[in-house]
Amino acid sequence: MDDIILLKQGEIVLKGLNRKSFEMKLIANINKRLKPFGKFRIYAVQSTIYAEPQGDCDMDGAYDAVKTVFGLAAVSRAAACEKDKDALLETAKRYLGDELNRAKSFKVETKRSDKSFPMTSIQMSQYVGGELADAFPHVKVDVHNPEFTVHLEVRDYAAYVHGPSEAGAGGMPAGMGGRAVSLLSGGIDSPVSTYMIAKRGVSIIPVHFFSFPYTSELAKEKVIELARILSRYCGRMKLEIVPFTHIQEEIRAKCPEELFTIIMRRFMMRISDKIADYNDCKAIITGENLGQVASQTLEAMAVTEECAKRLVLRPVIGHDKREIVETAVKIGTFETSILPYEDCCTVFTPRHPRTKPRLDDVIKAESALDVEALAEEAFRQIKRIVIEA
């Protein structure tokens, strides 16, 4: 009995003439993700991708890994067998016997993409369902609300038996949507924003602004750990650590206190632009959420992005905190995000920040600084850490 992983493609099936390029990218991403678990033959037939182990493989690890690959709607671990009704029956008994023994009710669903198979889907479900009912007499047949469903698939090259599928990560294959820089703080919002844009097929370059000694090494390690968690979905990333202390000290010394945060965030945009230029990125991603803090009013965000040269994406801008937290819990970043290590945004926080700043006032305040020299200095001193999936 051959153990295999069936991967159902998501929205790329709607891509029309350029669907093949999306499919090939998805297969390449799956290959990379499964490499640590053994050698797999990966191929696509009729909107399904097959991950077939070649020799001894860690199937449990591989199955967990593919559930985080963007571009897949559903995943299931299955047993392959001959396209024969009795082979399918015997495979179902062996492969799903434990689940059937634990269940109180079941039904059988059949998909028959090979129309040359001599039985219809309904006939096949009735045959296997009747035989399983005899083999597992304590399990009730319930075609409407079964506790467990036996799935049979008769396809071009073989037949497959599996239990209920699990949801895949959805979205688009990573790398098909270009590249973007993502501002990654140690909070809850920015990892969620990073995940949401990565889900649309965008390759991510995370950027963290670090203000030692005002923020600790533990704060930096926290962000590195967040990047590691995100790499389960985003794949291999290069985390850029930007030294931000000198800039913040200059802002404190020479600018009005109520504009500290706005001017600081404008520096983040300028430096992110430089990183984006260097890495051929088309956008900057932030975790800004409308009205959450003083620097995230409509007026403040307009002033912040005025100095950016490219598109600024704010995927959680309209979410309430509950929705953001739910996503953070789902992707595994929440527990790390709430660790009590502050980031640079909490350094020199003004007592009374300007919530509706005027652009001309901010530009006038920035004239006391050598803006380009400070941004270039920080860019030259960036430290880069490769985060492997």
Residue 47 scores a pLDDT above 90? no
| 295 backbone dihedrals φ, ψ, rounded to 5° | -85, 5
Bridge-based pairing of strands 105-112 and 159-162 is: unpaired
* For range 231-258, the mean pLDDT: 95
Q: What is the pLDDT of residues 261-315, one digit of tens each?
A: 999 999 999 999 999 999 999 999 999 999 888 889 999 999 999 999 999 999 9
pLDDT of residue 292: 87
The 8 Å CB, 24+ separation contacts for 31-37 are 32/235, 32/236, 32/389, 33/65, 33/66, 33/68, 33/69, 33/235, 33/389, 34/62, 34/65, 34/66, 36/61, 36/65, 37/61, 37/62, 37/65
Residue 342 scores a pLDDT above 80? no
| CATH topology (fold) of 179-387 | Rossmann fold (3.40.50)
pLDDT of residue 190: 97
Flag the least confident range among 8-17, 158-167, 185-194. Answer: 8-17
CA distance 38 to 58: 6
> Are residues 195 and 235 in contact, defined by beta-carbon separation less than 8 angstroms?
no
Average pLDDT value for the chain: 94
pLDDT of residue 229: 97
pLDDT of residue 346: 72
> Does the bond joining 213 to the residue before it have cis omega, within 30 degrees of 0?
yes
| CATH topology (fold) of 2-167 | VC0802-like (3.30.2130)
* For range 242-262, the mean pLDDT: 95
Binning pLDDT at 50, 70 and 90, where does residue 216 land? confident
Residue 154 scores a pLDDT above 80? yes
pLDDT of residue 349: 81
pLDDT of residue 157: 83
Binning pLDDT at 50, 70 and 90, where does residue 255 land? very high
CA distance 167 to 366: 50
Residue 7 scores a pLDDT above 70? yes
CA distance 125 to 119: 10
Domain regions of the chain by residue span: 2-167, 179-387
Binning pLDDT at 50, 70 and 90, where does residue 1 land? low
- The tokens describing 226, both together, are 């967040």
Choose among 82, 54, 104, 99: nearest CA to 152. 82
Residue tagged 């007499």 (tokens): 137
Residue tagged 């880069």 (tokens): 384
pLDDT of residue 220: 93
